[in-house]
Chains A and B, each alone.
Chain A
Amino acid sequence: MEWEQFELNPRIIAAVKRAHFRSAKEILCVSGPDLQRLTRLSKTDVLRLHCAVAAAVRKTSPVTALQLIRGECPVLEPGHRLSFACPVLDGLMRGGLPLRGITELAGESAAGKTQFCLQLCLSVQYPEENGGLNSGAVYICTEDSFPIKRLLQLITQQSRLRPDLPPALIHSRRLTDSVYIEHAADLEALQACVSQRVPVLLKRGLVRLVVVDSVAALFRSEFQADEAVQRSRHLLAFSSTLHRLSHAYGAPVVCVNQVTDVMDGPNPGRCDYGLVGSKVLPALGIAWANQVMVRLMLTRLAGQVKSDSRSCASRKLEVVFAPHLPRASCLCGVWEEGVRGIPDDALHDE
């Protein structure tokens, strides 16, 4: 650590070197009185030292919310979101997925979560003015193998899903080239993938969307019921890596989660997130929920929805919580060309 770079009295720098401090972190983690004792500096000198080191650690000085909304700080507030490629779904999400933070998509099996993720992998590749991020996606599979046939089908049907895009734009892109597929069979592989391979892709600008399908599978299978503390620790390590990557590169992270059955009534030890009457809750407990910024739930309903002359099983996409969205849901269907929200029956709870 080059202490000379700080604009401090040489006496202070000498004292810091004598006390064998090696990094700014070490200085900030020691309190004022302790630092006085270790370096034998006076109270004002220690205060100056703390301020100088803190100023060096601080990445950006405070900005006003007005600067953010005017788009003057694109690092903190990019001003656009990742579109779902459907105007109804984008309307539910007020533009789409936020670029920083973990978005969770929870639901039962066969609800359609993978379909959503595949659609996002294609939507991210279009330019920013069309709701994309002009970059690819990395898809980490932990459960089944990657549904490559379905992805190819979606690609051929893109012009049907996106009538707003000029066909030349769709055809000019080789949409398969920018979807990177990773398989992780156990937790170690998952952590290695997320801490080594994914950062390389992000740094090179090859991807700007990370999908983990699913996060629950490995964490639920590798830990017994009484190993909750270890599971929490691994979950926190995993989610903090994702969180750091998302914020550093402005890349949305989508994590697919499973659900658990709710068998007994309200339980004070379990948070229901206000989902009364739901027979299922997102898995992995409150330790994981604390790391998630936007939580979406996808439920398969009994009826059918129609589009043109086709019909399919109806699904409900619900915003459970998000800092910028109210509790709302909309119906959607999974078609040949992808997932589409149904505009007329947009429901608003609460």
Chain B
Amino acid sequence: MHRTVPSLPLAPSVKVKLINAGFQVASDLIDMRPLQLCKEAGISQEEAVEVLQMLRDDAQPHQQRAATESVTALDLLHQEQSLGSIVTFCSGLDNVLGGGVPVGKTTEICGAPGVGKTQLCMQLAVDVQIPVCFGGLGGKALYVDTEGSFLVQRVADMAKAAVQHCTLLAEDTEQKQALEELTVEKILSNLFLVRCHDYVELLAEVYLLPDFLSEHPEVRLIVIDSIAFPFRHDFEDLSQRTRLLNGLAQQLIQLATQHSLAVVLTNQMTTRVSNGQSKLVPALGESWGHAATQRLILHWEGLRRLASLYKSPSQMEATIQYQITVQGFRDATDEPRHASPSENYSKRPRMEDLS
């Protein structure tokens, strides 16, 4: 109870009057009666009652503890490491991301049409379900589809390939037992789909996410494919769009940290002309670039498909090559299925044409 009067959550005018009356510390006020305080400080009776009420609430121990609770950086590091990440089955990309798509953060995937954003999202929705004994998270996934490009036939292909991959890797009894339950049907039954036809439905869906997550606490991944599509047409007021997008980003990062899940958003590319030269940049504007924790840009270079980690708080910027096969999102080698990580990625500081 050594809080000084200026630090109390009161209106400034009230604080000034209290200080002028000689009250410096909260403990000076605690034994006063409202009428006394009213006369001595020259504040109205209502204000006096409010001040004393606030002090009484403040004195309760659990609220005080909450105000001063802090965590050490070592605790945070352990927490982060225990959260895990979702593998992409492309070992090059997993290495670049530091293990996979991180849980507790938002990752944005940008790319031109057809480069593989939806494929990567579907792959993650399958991979999040890999049992813990195989190095996965054993969680469920929610896929929010705004473009209508979620075709379940393709997800079934990827699920089958994932089961086959795990079958090849299964060694000990625990893994073999987990494998018995891991069927294509089980994977499909743990993948939830919601379709939003415009931005209002998308906003509604995000408001309903906390309820959905409390009903399905095993969900470890939320994919929004794509967040750009509903926001890029019929928006005359761009400042409202920025405001709504920022609000969405804040809600999503809050959900990611509170419920320990990974949020993956896909974005489109648009052309920007500067100094007579045009280049492809992620859509939704400059301020949206700050929204996600990590940004991955998928692009073509001739016949090759490359993924560049463009923004990350913990990983170095790097570019790797990947391919899309019948089994899904994979490394760009001839062998589609292999257990050892491939060495075919190059670390380049900043790609010139993306700066």
* A interface residues (Cβ-Cβ under 8 A, vs B): 24-25, 28-29, 31, 50-51, 53-55, 57-66, 68-69, 76-77, 94, 98, 100-101, 228, 236-237, 239-240, 243-244, 246-247, 266-274, 276, 285-287, 289-290, 292-293, 295, 320-321, 323-324, 326, 350
* Contact in complex: B149, A101 (CB < 8 Å): yes
Tell me which residues from 225 to 253 in chain B have a Cβ below 8 Å from any Cβ of chain A: 228-229, 232-234, 240, 243-244, 247
Q: Which of B142, B149, B205, B325 meets A58, CB within 8 Å?
A: B205
Q: Chain B's interface: helix, strand, loop or mixed, by majority?
A: mixed
Instruction: Return chain A residues, CB-CB under 8 Å to B323.
Output: 350
Is there contact, CB below 8 Å, between B151 and A324?
yes
Q: Which residues of B contact A58 (CB under 8 A)?
A: 194, 201, 204-205, 208
What are some 30 contacts across the A-B interface (CB < 8 A)?
A24-B204, A28-B204, A29-B203, A54-B203, A57-B204, A59-B197, A60-B195, A63-B192, A64-B189, A64-B193, A65-B193, A66-B185, A237-B234, A240-B233, A247-B148, A268-B279, A269-B273, A270-B271, A270-B280, A272-B300, A273-B114, A274-B303, A276-B303, A287-B270, A290-B113, A290-B228, A290-B232, A321-B114, A323-B150, A323-B151
Whether A28 touches B300, Cβ cut-off 8 Å, given contacts A65-B188, A65-B193, A237-B234, is no
State whether A286 touches B112 (Cβ < 8 A): yes
Contact B207 A54 (CB under 8 A): yes
B207: A residues at CB distance < 8 A: 28, 50-51, 53-54
Give the interface size class of chain B.
Answer: 35 or more
B binding-site residues for A, Cβ under 8 Å: 112-115, 118-119, 142, 147-156, 185, 187-195, 197, 200-201, 203-205, 207-208, 211-212, 228-229, 232-234, 240, 243-244, 247, 268-271, 273, 277-280, 300-303, 305, 323-326, 353
Please determine whether A64 and B190 come into contact, CB atoms closer than 8 angstroms. yes
Identify which of A51, A244, A270, A272 contacts B278 (C-beta below 8 A): A270
> CB-CB < 8 A to A76: which residues of B?
193, 195
Give bound CA distance, A25 to B198, whole Å. 11
Q: How many angstroms from the CA of A94 to the CA of B326 in the assembled complex? A: 13
Whether the Cβ atoms of A28 and B203 lie closer than 8 Å is yes
| Given A66-B185, A269-B271, A236-B233 contact (CB < 8 Å) | yes
Known A-B contacts A101-B149, A286-B270, A324-B154; the reply to A244 vs B114 at CB < 8 A is no
User: Do the beta carbons of A101 and B148 come within 8 Å of each other?
Assistant: yes
A129 to B79, CA, bound (A): 55
Closest CB in chain B relative to A272 CB, distance in Å: 6
- Among A68, A240, A247, A324, chain B packs the most CB atoms within 10 A around the CB of A324
Asked if residues B188 and A323 are in contact (CB atoms below 8 Å), the reply is no
Determine the distance from Cα of A29 to Cα of B247 in the docked complex, in whole angstroms: 9
Q: Are A286 and B113 closer than 8 Å at their CB atoms?
A: yes
CB pair A68–B152 under 8 Å, yes or no, is yes
Query: CA A55 – CA B212 in complex, angstroms?
Result: 11
Most buried by A among B191, B192, B193, B278: B193
Which of A94, A247, A287 lies in contact with B197, CB distance below 8 A?
A247
Complex Cα–Cα for A13 and B194 (A): 28
Bound CA–CA A268/B23 (angstroms): 68
